[in-house]
Amino acid sequence: MHTIRELDDTYVAHTYARFPVSITEGHGSIAIAEDGKEYIDLGSGIGVNLFGYCDKVWMEAVTSQLARVQHTSNLYYTGPCAQLAEALCTRTGMKKVFFCNSGAEANECAIKAARRYGQLHHGNDCSTMITLKDSFHGRTLTTLAATGQDHFHELFQPLTAGFVHAEANDLESVKRLVNDQVCGILMECVQGEGGVNVLSEAFVKGVRDLCDEKDLILIIDEVQTGNGRTGALYSFMNYGILPDAATTAKGIGGGLPIGAAMLGEKLQDIFTPGDNGSTFGGNPAVAAGALSNLNRLDDALFADVRRKSELIFSALNGAEGVKSISGMGLMIGIEPEFTTAREIARACLDEGVLVLTAGHNKVRLLPALNIPDELLIRALDVLKRAFAAGRE
């Protein structure tokens, strides 16, 4: 008899520093471990389980589609894929959607689209993308190159060429990098993995204006910020701008793999058959679940996300051991004063609360959007104790 941990440690590639918990069940915002211990989950599988574990509405959408047809490949039409694309375009102002399986792939697609646009409109050398320091855009060789954190670049050289990095919230540093070879700018409005850093409105609007002026493609990476997370359907909506492309993944699938690259007016006709593809992309069961999720993301829910956000900010702002707190909606980063984020996460785990960490020593919260107040308040008490106790 081997425990789950022993098997995993023996046979699964060691790319993760897992916490010592095997989760065997979950409902709503409660995860249940192999040993029966219950956890209040403030991470939701890194912002994926939008309505918590085994949400009934989402499960019904997925399983009823599974019982009809689970997969066809993209050689044929299926309803959920077409309907999800329609819903995404109608609600964002985008014109076409490419479906894939992950955030990294969605970003790859948007980068391909921006390069094609640059080459078609400004010549073959127009292929460089500007991204921001402390960004995170994925783990493929191209999205690692896009990711503006040096420690991600060291191990796997050579990465895809054609990425340069500007300072977040410093428009001049972006302008300095613009030249005839630059085709676009890719950024997160709230940098997730990089430390829950919120871009300023002046910066985001300034980048939009710059892209208009120079005919650059602006891609907003909504993989983590999207799908209600920041109190709007997509975070760019909080800034009153419309990008030329937006990518999403994580939460939209509610727990099944999906990525989407949404293409705006300038990019809508950039691809022709054969230019991009995915075996699973737009899979009907996943798409049916995603459509059901999207249909529940309405103004009432966004208002509730913002209300819960204020609840968290007011509980932790100025609390003992909290050095700083940042974020938007239910995407929040908290910097400990006395200890490391990893230590706080461990202490919370012992007390039955799951939290995430992020760059620059942040504890990161991405709870399910429908987490009940009662669980949130209990978890915040545990968090406050963990931050205060770090002093020893």
Q: Which residues make up the interface to ligand PLP (CB under 6 A)?
A: 102-104, 107, 136-138, 188, 192-193, 221, 223-224, 249-250
d(CA 163, CA 376): 40
Residue with Cβ nearer ligand PLP (223 or 376): 223
d(CA 117, CA 187): 18
Closest approach, Cβ 319 to ligand PLP, in A, equals 26
- Sheet containing 163-166: which strands, arranged edge to edge? 96-100, 259-263, 245-248, 217-221, 182-187, 128-132, 163-166
Which two tokens mark 239? 């800034």
Phi, psi of 100 (to 5 degrees): -145, -155
Residue with Cβ nearer ligand PLP (42 or 380): 42
Q: Using CB positions, name the residue nearest to ligand PLP.
A: 103
Write the Ramachandran bin of 36: left for phi over 0, alpha for psi from -120 to 50, otherwise beta.
left
Instruction: Please answer whether residues 144 and 153 qualify as being in contact, where contact means their C-beta atoms are separated by less than 8 angstroms.
Output: yes
Closest approach, Cβ 387 to ligand PLP, in A, equals 24
Residue with Cβ nearer ligand PLP (186 or 375): 186
d(CA 234, CA 225): 7
Closest approach, Cβ 370 to ligand PLP, in A, equals 21
Instruction: Please answer whether residues 125 and 140 qualify as being in contact, where contact means their C-beta atoms are separated by less than 8 angstroms.
Output: no
d(CA 91, CA 98): 16
Closest approach, Cβ 231 to ligand PLP, in A, equals 17
Residue with Cβ nearer ligand PLP (134 or 188): 188
d(CA 237, CA 178): 25
Query: Can you point out the beta strands (E) in 83-170?
Result: 96-100, 128-132, 163-166
Any residues with CB less than 8 A from the CB of 352 and at least 6 apart, and which? 37, 38, 39, 40, 382
Closest approach, Cβ 38 to ligand PLP, in A, equals 27
Closest approach, Cβ 101 to ligand PLP, in A, equals 8
d(CA 184, CA 261): 15
d(CA 320, CA 343): 16
Closest approach, Cβ 42 to ligand PLP, in A, equals 16
Closest approach, Cβ 202 to ligand PLP, in A, equals 22
Closest approach, Cβ 259 to ligand PLP, in A, equals 6
Residue with Cβ nearer ligand PLP (92 or 102): 102
Instruction: Please answer whether residues 233 and 293 qualify as being in contact, where contact means their C-beta atoms are separated by less than 8 angstroms.
Output: no
Cα R_g (the chain), whole angstroms: 21
Residue with Cβ nearer ligand PLP (51 or 136): 136
Residue with Cβ nearer ligand PLP (223 or 347): 223
Residue with Cβ nearer ligand PLP (41 or 221): 221
d(CA 178, CA 138): 23
Residue with Cβ nearer ligand PLP (115 or 250): 250
